[in-house]
Structure 1
Amino acid sequence: MSLRGRVLLAAGLTATLLAGAVAYVIVAGNRDKAPAVAASVVDAGPGERLLFRSTASGSYGRVATVPRADAAGPRAVSGLACDRVYAAAGAALCLRPDGPLATYQLAVLDRHLAVKDTYPLVGVPNRARVAPSGHVLTWTVFVTGDSYNGGKFSTRVGMLNTATGETVDSLESFAVTRDGRPYRNVDLNFWGVTFDDDRHFYATMSTAGRRYLVAGDVTAQTVRTLAVNVECPSLSPDGTRIAFKEAVGGNPAKGWRLSVLDLATLRRTRLAETRSVDDQAAWFDDRTVMYAVRRGPKAADVWVVPAGGGGAPQLLIPDAESPAALWNSAQ
């Protein structure tokens, strides 16, 4: 960790500018032009509510909440628009475009979604999470320009501790242990962080054509592999299981299957959702996983499925994505 300035949140990523500009034009062109609904006062603090990004006509991209007990019912819609949003313990982060070209911004929010601070963020936003304490924010962006990757997209993970001001600019500088041995390779990529506490986290690491679930330690600046073919982990509220997407046959081109990993035994349970889900799932409660399913370039819905492998998927929040449960500090 370092106490470096906010500009370093974007350091090393300037090669993404041109690709990001193209991505921004595509995103901007897809924004809803329907009349926006009136903004409401939205509370992102702990409570019996679900926070999400709206994909509904008239409120596309804006942050909203619904009661847990009536998730398909009337929603409170804020005036804040984000590409990705997440909240825990009364703190939230918003990843959003900043300007007309290829720049993006990390906005640090309070429980009422008021912007407390902003940081430049170069790269196309992909994932966002907040530690259970509300102190540590993390994000994943797509970037280009890595020499080993032949012009394809790579990923970068950053972290910001709002209590101390410390930042992690990239997990690629952390010491890696793969299969019990020290490991280093130029092609290391990380994405999809989920927190246990302010120090310990889980994430996806890819190298040499394989994807791993890793356990990380921010203080020690280390990660170690736990299991293969685990992407976009999400730690359960009780800290015992990881919900994740698993590439079918180990090949992402064939799609992903939602599964749950028991951290004590490393036993995998495939969930009843059989559609390909390209999302970092979240936990509705200790027994239920929620996730977004896209049904078009702009349209998405949030669904739920039992975490034990039984039951069937059910629609939870129509016209929504990027969900977070606010009732506790669930990941």
Structure 2
Amino acid sequence: MTRRARLTVLLVTLLLLAGVGTASVLRAADRAHRRDQAQPGGPVVAVGAVSLRPAARTLVFRSTAWGPHRDELSTVPADRPGDDRTAAGVRCDRFYAAAGTGICLRAKPGAVQDSYQAVVLDAGLHDLKAFPLAGIPSRSRVSPSGHLAAWTVFTSGDNYGSLNFSTRTSIVDTRDWRLEENLESFTVLKDGQPYHAQDINVWGVTFADDTAFYATVASGGQTWLVRGDLGARTLTTLHGNVECPSLSPDGTRIAYKHRVAGATNDVPWLLYVLDLRTGTETATAETRGVDDQAVWSDDHTLVYALPGDYGADLWTVPADGSGAPARLLGAALAPAYLG
């Protein structure tokens, strides 16, 4: 073999080895990327199109899986929650959506410290309008029509455990951007009479329609379920010991946190359901403390968050007190069913 031939063979060999090495590196990088998004053994998350008007029924939520898409709004098919997640590239601390309208409560980075804002999103998750928040994001909801969005923040304290906190709850009409900045300015009607106190707090709105809603009012160490009327600007007490209500799709029941006597201040609630027609309370089969505003996946099933390895997991339980809790989705919170 001539010297030139030997050099040619050597060059081809080096090129082949370099190609094999490059392919190995790329494969390793891809595996590491997938592990980074799902480590260890968690969901695979990839960027893609997310719509609040999906072609098929989907579950949209804040994904807390480790990786570059942590805390981004993500989606899976509602009937296949274990499928790979599609991440939208939009981060929210709290989120909810209905009828193509989303509400995203998120941090706004600042030079000295972060602030927070409530951002109304369109069906493509584009910002429509932002409102500065007076505290730490807590709860958010959208009316069934998509015309109204509500949010609650902590203006002092950061949890509901001891009732030693202060909140502010707002509602905005997305058609004309008319803002009710603080529902504490509404008249509270208790036992048919106006109720006045310095320590009134309102939180956890859930909408019936574009006029009527439900929420929690607290004062004097007590909490009540109230029915709100946007036109009349009233909050009428209905039932005691109700926090973070969630109205069923058929409008007949409220899922809520029921404070249990003698429980710890950290998570002193059990998940209950109230029949609005009869006043009957039903404890669900979930015996762990729940600090969340539950979501109805249908007229029979509740979805709620509990602490998990990556921040929170979503669980389900029947609303009628039967059955047992079941883990729906790991590394997720703030769910909304669409479509």
> Does TM-score exceed 0.5, indicating one fold?
yes
Distance in 1, Cα, partners of 2:130 & 2:249: 29
The one-letter code sitting in structure 2 at the alignment partner of 1:77 is A
Match of 1:274 in 2: 287
Distance in 2, Cα, partners of 1:135 & 1:94: 15
1:188-207 pair list within 5 angstroms: 188-207=200-219
Distance in 1, Cα, partners of 2:146 & 2:78: 20
Aligned to 1:172, what secondary structure does the other structure show?
A: helix
The one-letter code sitting in structure 2 at the alignment partner of 1:173 is S
Tell me the TM-score normalized by structure 2: 0.81
- 1:85 and 2:95 equivalent? yes
CA 1:193–1:252 in 2, change beyond 3 Å: closer, same or farther? farther
**Which of 65, 72, 76 is 1:56 aligned to?**
65
Match of 1:7 in 2: none
Distance in 2, Cα, partners of 1:262 & 1:174: 25
Match of 2:233 in 1: 221
Q: Is the 8 A contact 2:308 2:331 kept in 1?
A: no
Distance in 2, Cα, partners of 1:238 & 1:144: 35
Distance in 2, Cα, partners of 1:102 & 1:268: 41
Runs (4+) of structure 1 exceeding 4 A deviation are: 34-38
Unaligned stretches of 5+ residues in structure 1: 1-33, 146-151
Distance in 1, Cα, partners of 2:228 & 2:167: 17
Match of 2:161 in 1: none
Unaligned stretches of 5+ residues in structure 2: 1-35, 39-44, 158-163
Q: CA deviation at 1:198?
A: 1.0
Q: Is the 8 A contact 1:54 1:319 kept in 2?
A: yes
Distance in 1, Cα, partners of 2:299 & 2:104: 25
**Which of 11, 36, 48 is 1:40 aligned to?**
48
Match of 2:83 in 1: 73
Q: CA deviation at 1:164?
A: 2.0
Distance in 2, Cα, partners of 1:44 & 1:249: 40
The one-letter code sitting in structure 2 at the alignment partner of 1:218 is L
Q: Higher RCO, 1 or 2 (CA under 8 Å, sep at least 6)?
A: 1
Aligned residues: 288
Tell me the TM-score normalized by structure 1: 0.83
Match of 1:239 in 2: 251
Aligned to 2:83, what secondary structure does the other structure show?
A: coil
Listed one character per residue, the Cα deviations across residues 93-126 of structure 1 (whole Å, up to 9, x for unaligned) are 1000012314111111111212122222221000
Q: Is the 8 A contact 1:89 1:134 kept in 2?
A: yes
Greater gyration radius: 2
Q: Is the 8 A contact 2:46 2:85 kept in 1?
A: no
Q: Is the 8 A contact 2:76 2:86 kept in 1?
A: yes
Distance in 2, Cα, partners of 1:144 & 1:183: 23
Match of 1:208 in 2: 220
- 1:292 and 2:305 equivalent? yes
